Structure 1
Amino acid sequence: MRNKTKWYTFLLMIMALALILGGCSEASSNMDSKGNGGTNSATTGATEQMSVSENKAVTATEGAAASSAEAPSAVGGSADGGSVGEIAAEGTGTGLNQKLIYKANLTIEAVDYDKAATALRNAIHQASGYILQFQDGQYNGEKSSTYTIKVPAAGFMDFIDRLDGIEHKKFERQISGTDVTEEYVDLQSRLKAQQVVEQRLLAFMDKATKADDLVKFSEQLATVQENIERLKGRIRYLDNNVSYSTIELRLYQPEAGADTKSVEDGLGGKMSQALNDSVDAMVTVLQGLLIFVAGALPILLLVAIIGLPIYWLRGRHRSKQSFRAHVKPPIAPTAKEDGQEEDPDQPKG
């Protein structure tokens, strides 16, 4: 009996141990399944977040690339920047919001004045510019003309390079720029402030019931509107000068052969120069004398017309007086002097 009881007890213990081991394995399997599920969910969420972040990063990168690709076309040149024309275009762009005014002073000594003037007008037309002022003339055999030209700022340097292509002996240029961004921003701020004051004064005038108040508001409004127009005019002036650059140009051609004329050295050259100077001085004196005679000729004729008859009459009168002085009348006989006899042959009386 004792052996059976022990054996039975041993079997019960084995079954109980088997049940315990089965429950533990089940719990561990459930826990593993739950843990794996949570890990998968977390991994999925992280993956989705990473994909979203990557999409945003790609979008931002594409936007930056697009912006960098569009930037050169927006400012009119590469990011390195180079010519003055590109800088002027950047000044007119909305990206940097800079206001730059460019001006150039050019001097061109042309080989053929007429051809150079024609090429200049063609260059102005091709650059979509216009002539603001023009003056020409010829002094001492030299043909010369001055221009004040306005060209678009974007083609400022291209226009100067085109002028450099004109056939010339000498080409001088001086380029300067002025940054008016600060003044432009200040003008816009003042304009907005004046416009706000204008709106307030208009509102006060609508609500005014007294004639005195209405008159005061009207005077103040007139002053504010005058300031607004002055600010707008200055802004328009700056916009025009920023959009169109100014070029002061002098085009000339010296007298033919003037560049080959040189001063000779030595005694012979100095003697020749002195002789030429003497001849020139004599010619100048003769010219002045002829001019004086031509100017005094009417007066000389008048003096001759009046003076010659007077001179002739005075000469005749003097000749008569001299003739009378030389011709004496006969002397009449006198009575017999003391101790002398009268001549019987001599008539009396």
Structure 2
Amino acid sequence: MVGEEGVERQVVSTASISLTSRDPISVADRAVDVVLDVNGHVDRRTDTPTEDSRSGSAQLVLRVPSAVLDETLPELKALGELVRSSLNQTDVTTQSADLDARIAALQTGVDRLLSLMSQATTTADLIDLESALSERQTELDGLVAQRDSLKDLVDYAAVEMFITTPGEVAGAAPGDFWGGVIVGFQSMIAFFGGLLVVLGVLLPWLLPLGLLAILVAWLVRRKRTPGAPPGPTGHPQQEVPPRPPLPTEAGRTAGHEGTATDRNPV
């Protein structure tokens, strides 16, 4: 592409195509053939064959020469029933020109350092020049890699394709006893499978929370002040004062004391 000022535009194109087909793998094979016929290539491909309990699908990342992208996209869309498609184009002319300028400046610096190294007269000067040259060369190699990657994106558009089987109508309710039994078992298995997933998510949290609860209970028991065992009402037991003597016991005690006095006069 050429811009208004005669500068060739650098454009990165990315496309996305979603198709449905009864045989996604076969459609993916034909899509690869279309791209190879225009000198493109396949970056990535993932196939999922159709099985009893799983629908087939295919996913591809194709690289198509930008010069023939407009002619190739309609061929790819016609391979199945089109569900969705998109095309994005990004102008990277300024970025490409900036990389070229920086690479040219660094290359000039590298050539200058190589010339100075050939004229170095001391070992210290040679070591300093080699260190500076190593830094410049590393930076130059990185910029060259960026430029090459950008050039590849400009030259080859990326087309991502998703191919699936047509959506199936939801099955009707079971029409007999055994059909209901099968549906019931399937729902039960799905329920317990989901429950196991939830337990698996909660388990890493339950272990530390349980340990924390045990630690808190131990600290509370340790800080509790020891005392007398609680009484029937829950309060610590108190000493019961001695029972006062009954009148008969008091007289008896006095009589004994008097007799003892008589027997032992002072």
TM range (shorter): 0.5 to 0.7
Alignment partner of 2:46: what SS?
A: strand
Q: 1:148 aligns with which of 54, 61, 71?
A: 61
Q: 1:121 aligns with which of 26, 32, 43?
A: 32
Query: Does 2:120 correspond to 1:208?
Result: yes
2:130 aligns with: 218
Q: Distance in 2 between matches of 1:155 and 1:180?
A: 19
1:261 aligns with: 170
Change (3 A) 1:277 1:187: farther
Structure 2: 5+ residue stretches without partners: 190-266
1:236 aligns with: 148
Is the contact between residue 164 and residue 171 of structure 1 (CA under 8 Å) also seen in structure 2?
no
Is the contact between residue 137 and residue 145 of structure 1 (CA under 8 Å) also seen in structure 2?
yes
Q: 1:170-222 deviations in whole A, cap 9, x for unaligned?
A: 33111111111111111111111111111221122122111011001001001
Give TM-score scaled by structure 1 length.
0.48
Q: 1:214-261 deviations in whole A, cap 9, x for unaligned?
A: 00100100111111111111111111110100011111224xxx6243
More helix, by proportion: 1
Is the contact between residue 137 and residue 143 of structure 1 (CA under 8 Å) also seen in structure 2?
yes
Change (3 A) 1:156 1:274: farther
Q: Distance in 2 between matches of 1:285 and 1:171?
A: 35
Change (3 A) 1:211 1:275: same
Aligned residue pairs: how many? 186
Change (3 A) 1:196 1:283: closer
Q: Distance in 2 between matches of 1:192 and 1:233?
A: 14
Q: Distance in 2 between matches of 1:105 and 1:91?
A: 25
Aligned ranges 1:263-278 → 2 under 5 Å: 278=181
Q: 1:66-87 deviations in whole A, cap 9, x for unaligned?
A: xxxxxxxxxxxxxxxxxxxxxx
Matched residue type, 1:155 = V
1:159 aligns with: 72
Give TM-score scaled by structure 2 length.
0.62
**1:277 Cα shift?**
5.4
Q: Distance in 2 between matches of 1:101 and 1:282?
A: 53
2:107 aligns with: 195
Matched residue type, 1:159 = T
Percent identity over paired residues: 19
1:39 aligns with: none
Aligned ranges 1:1-349 → 2 under 5 Å: 90=1, 95-138=6-49, 140-168=53-81, 170-254=82-166, 259-261=168-170, 278-282=181-185
2:195 aligns with: none
Q: 1:80-132 deviations in whole A, cap 9, x for unaligned?
A: xxxxxxxxxx169x943211100011111114435423321221122221111
2:263 aligns with: none
Matched residue type, 1:134 = R
Alignment partner of 1:119: what SS?
A: helix
Change (3 A) 1:231 1:91: farther
Q: Relative CO higher for 1 or 2, CA cutoff 8 Å, sep ≥ 6?
A: 2
Structure number with bigger Rg: 1
Matched residue type, 1:150 = R
**1:280 Cα shift?**
2.8
Which range moved further: 237-246 or 123-132?
A: 123-132
Is the contact between residue 91 and residue 100 of structure 1 (CA under 8 Å) also seen in structure 2?
no
